[in-house]
């Protein structure tokens, strides 16, 4: 039955309200990084809006959140001229280049020192987004600087990009927003895992993934890719922005609803630029996205106009580049390492090569499928990348340089350490040695895990020492550690009397621990720190965990059938039970956690720690909060219940005050934990 005019008017009002609320939540999530509602609530709002628009097609507007994926696949990208060219930047590859640039700027402006806006140089794909009357009108890639490719339909799929700018009274009627489309590191890893699981080609790096995703002819493919956008400036504009310095631009762009790049600063002179370059370089590995340098722009727009442009670049800006994170070298060998759980990992032994500030001699090949997909062979010339500035990996093979006598890699059928058969479970990418703790490699790795800082914390028990102890048959399992004495230890290679005594004392200190740390130290497959803590809080003591049936284990939060099966199999194994008993006989004890309301008295509460604490380390504070059931987050949002501020707190304290979140000092925290 057709809706009455009154009903249609009500639907129109509701649709408008839903659009406003959804865009507000998009702004808070993508621009302010302060999510206001749970994902499920957001999805429910979108579902209601879609149903309204489906029932009333006349209610659909071009800037509705439901229209982010609506275009048909294109046959090709149309060309789009930029109203104001997107110029390149000159590069500075060392400090002298930067000083030369600064001298030219100062000389032309007739000033002894100049202020610069310092920004991150994002490693993504530059785009130009044209807004008309506040609505997204057209978007294009940089192209050759004058003409780009029309990627409007694809840009509309990126949720962080507003379809309509905020603050209508302040928005120019026509404005080009310049920024970078990127894929964050965590999203890149997840994307490649999904690509690999689906049998599709994985991407070499986040930049290539972002570029390839944005240049899809089918917007629905782009919509499935985890693209983000960060704005850094504007092109042509019908009216001047309400700021006269580049350092003021990010805040204004954010006020329009656009996400911006963090860590921008205003610095004075070339020494300020160099200091910023080194500070960002030191933090580069911890950034959530890839950068390949930093950009310095003369801060005053008036001074920029005086300096002008050369043919392809502005005289008032320069990009200071970091050393490349990729290098080429030869594969000398491919060896197979055996891990604590028996996982076989192929590792490429490389001709030493300098990558990202370190000399790399090994690169992980992950698993047999990955080696075959990349077709890495001994003798190949390969490109090595430090993934996330931490783990070296092979990014690609130069097939044109492949020697004619190379052979494809094949994983051995038996363990290279103990000779036990290699097994591969269906639907698992990892092949494993079936020898268990009878395999020396697995035994050594299990001992190292047991002694690690977040397990039993036996300081001084490193790889080489454990290998010596195992080879000399002084230690065959973790319980044997508690038989060692200083006299025996000082006879080992590179072990003096003092080192031996220190290790004995560290082993002795480890006899007293907590139940969750002991559980984690046992090395039960798939039982990490969080699961061990949950088990300890749920059951209270080890005998209850050892006796737990499948139904008991499945009642524990975050324990599913697979993990429950791993725990039961471990506890049922006679050798494991014997080792636990021998550890107890050696005097290893753990704090019993009473299963009371108090053990979860902070359950459901979210804490953020900032600044330096005096009575506790940050790790200790985090552990004690988690033992009471609290969640400890790294960022402040509307969902945060408390921010604990020590001395020299960072921006999290200011953010907490803006959001009205309760701030605790260290004494208040200790009182809460008492």
Tell me the whole-structure pTM to 2 decimals: 0.50
Quickly name the fold that domain 326-423 has.
OB fold (Dihydrolipoamide Acetyltransferase, E2P) (2.40.50)
Is residue 121 annotated as a catalytic residue, yes or no? yes
According to CATH, what is the number of the domain 436-510? 1.10.150.20
Predicted pLDDT at 567: 94
pLDDT digits (tens, 9 = 90+) for 593-622: 665 444 556 777 889 998 777 777 777 788
Superfamily of domain 5-67: Helix hairpin bin (1.10.287.610)
Predicted pLDDT at 324: 62
The domain limits of the chain are 5-67, 90-321, 326-423, 436-510, 514-591, 597-673
Topology match between the domains 326-423 and 597-673: no
pLDDT digits (tens, 9 = 90+) for 292-306: 899 999 999 999 999
Helix (H, G, I), strand (E, B) or coil at 9: helix
Inter-CA distances, 574 with 402, 421, 579, 585, Å: 51, 22, 9, 16
Predicted pLDDT at 597: 43
Of the options 3.40.50.300, 3.40.50.1450, 3.40.50.10490, 3.30.470.30, the CATH number for the domain spanning 90-321: 3.30.470.30
342 Ramachandran zone, left/alpha/beta (phi>0; psi -120 to 50): left
According to CATH, what is the number of the domain 597-673? 3.40.50.10190
Report how far residue 136's alpha carbon sits from residue 176's, in angstroms, rounded to the nearest whole number. Answer: 10
Residues of the chain with pLDDT under 70: 1-4, 29-33, 39, 68-76, 168-169, 311, 324, 356-358, 386-391, 593-601, 648, 674
Predicted pLDDT at 326: 80
Closest CA to 18 of 70, 71, 66, 69: 66
Which residue among 121, 297, 321, 374 is the active-site one?
121
Of the options 1.10.540.10, 1.10.10.10, 3.90.550.10, 1.10.150.20, the CATH number for the domain spanning 514-591: 1.10.150.20
- In sequence order, what are the residues at sequence separation of 6 or more whose Cβ sits closer than 8 angstroms to the Cβ of residue 521? 449, 450, 452, 455, 456, 478, 513
Q: Hunting for tokens 């001084």 — which residue is that? A: 460
């Amino acid at each position: 039955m057709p809706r009455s005019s009154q009903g249609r008017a009500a639907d129109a009002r509701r649709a408008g309200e839903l659009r406003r609320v959804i865009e507000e939540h998009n702004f808070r999530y993508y621009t302010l990084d302060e999510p206001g509602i749970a994902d499920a609530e957001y999805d429910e709002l979108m579902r209601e809006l879609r149903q309204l628009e489906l029932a009333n097609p006349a209610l659909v507007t071009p800037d509705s959140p439901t229209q982010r994926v609506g275009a048909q696949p294109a046959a090709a990208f149309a060309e789009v001229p930029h109203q104001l060219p997107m110029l390149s930047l000159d590069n500075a590859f060392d400090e002298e280049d930067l000083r030369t640039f600064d001298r030219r700027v100062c000389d032309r402006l007739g000033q002894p020192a100049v202020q610069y806006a310092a920004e991150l140089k994002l490693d993504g794909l530059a785009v130009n987004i044209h807004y008309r009357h506040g609505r997204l009108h057209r978007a294009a890639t940089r192209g050759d600087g004058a003409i780009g490719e029309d990627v409007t339909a694809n840009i509309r799929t990126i949720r962080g990009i507003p379809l309509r700018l905020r603050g209508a009274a302040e928005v120019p009627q026509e404005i080009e927003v310049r920024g970078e489309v990127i894929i964050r590191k965590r999203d890149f890893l997840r994307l490649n895992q999904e690509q690999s699981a689906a049998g599709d080609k994985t991407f070499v790096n986040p930049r290539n993934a972002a570029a390839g995703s944005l240049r899809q002819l089918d917007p629905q493919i782009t919509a499935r890719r985890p693209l983000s956008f960060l704005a850094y400036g504007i092109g042509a504009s019908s009216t001047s922005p309400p700021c006269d310095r580049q350092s003021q631009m990010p805040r204004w762009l954010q006020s329009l609803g656009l996400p911006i790049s963090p860590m921008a600063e205003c610095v004075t002179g070339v020494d300020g630029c160099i200091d910023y370059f080194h500070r960002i370089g030191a933090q580069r590995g911890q950034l959530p996205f890839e950068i390949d340098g930093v950009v310095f722009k003369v801060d005053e727009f008036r001074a920029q106009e005086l300096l002008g442009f050369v043919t392809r670049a502005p005289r008032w800006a320069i990009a200071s580049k970091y050393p490349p994170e990729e290098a080429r070298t030869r594969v000398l060998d491919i060896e197979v390492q055996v891990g604590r759980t028996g996982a076989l990992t192929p590792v490429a032994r490389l001709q030493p090569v300098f990558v990202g500030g370190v000399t790399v001699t090994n690169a992980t090949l992950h698993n047999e499928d990955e080696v075959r997909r990349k077709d890495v062979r001994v003798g190949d010339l390969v490109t090595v990348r430090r993934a996330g500035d931490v783990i070296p990996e092979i990014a690609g093979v130069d097939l044109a340089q492949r020697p004619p006598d190379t052979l494809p890699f094949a994983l051995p059928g038996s363990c290279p350490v103990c000779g036990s058969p290699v097994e591969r479970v269906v639907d698992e990418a990892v092949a494993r040695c079936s020898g268990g703790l009878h395999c020396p490699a697995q035994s050594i790795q299990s001992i190292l895990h047991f002694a690690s800082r977040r397990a039993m914390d036996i300081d001084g028990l490193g790889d080489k020492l454990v290998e010596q102890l195992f080879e000399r048959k002084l230690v065959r399992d973790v319980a044997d550690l508690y038989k060692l004495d200083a006299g025996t230890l000082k006879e080992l290679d590179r072990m003096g009397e003092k080192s031996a005594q220190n290790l004995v004392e560290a082993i002795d200190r480890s006899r007293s621990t907590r139940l969750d740390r002991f559980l984690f130290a046992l090395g039960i497959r798939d039982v990490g720190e969080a699961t061990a803590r949950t088990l300890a809080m749920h059951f209270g003591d080890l005998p209850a965990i050892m006796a737990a049936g499948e139904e008991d284990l499945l009642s524990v939060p975050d324990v599913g059938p697979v993990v429950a099966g791993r725990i039961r199999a471990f506890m049922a194994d006679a050798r494991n039970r014997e080792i636990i008993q021998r550890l107890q006989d050696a005097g290893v004890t753990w704090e019993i956690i009473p299963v009371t309301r108090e053990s979860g008295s902070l359950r459901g509460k979210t804490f953020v720690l900032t600044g330096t604490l005096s009575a506790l380390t940050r790790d200790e504070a985090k552990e004690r909060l988690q033992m009471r059931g609290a969640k400890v987050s790294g960022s402040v949002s509307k969902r945060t219940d408390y921010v604990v501020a020590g001395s020299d707190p960072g921006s999290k304290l200011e953010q907490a005050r803006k959001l009205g979140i309760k701030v605790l000092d260290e004494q208040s925290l200790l009182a809460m934990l008492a």
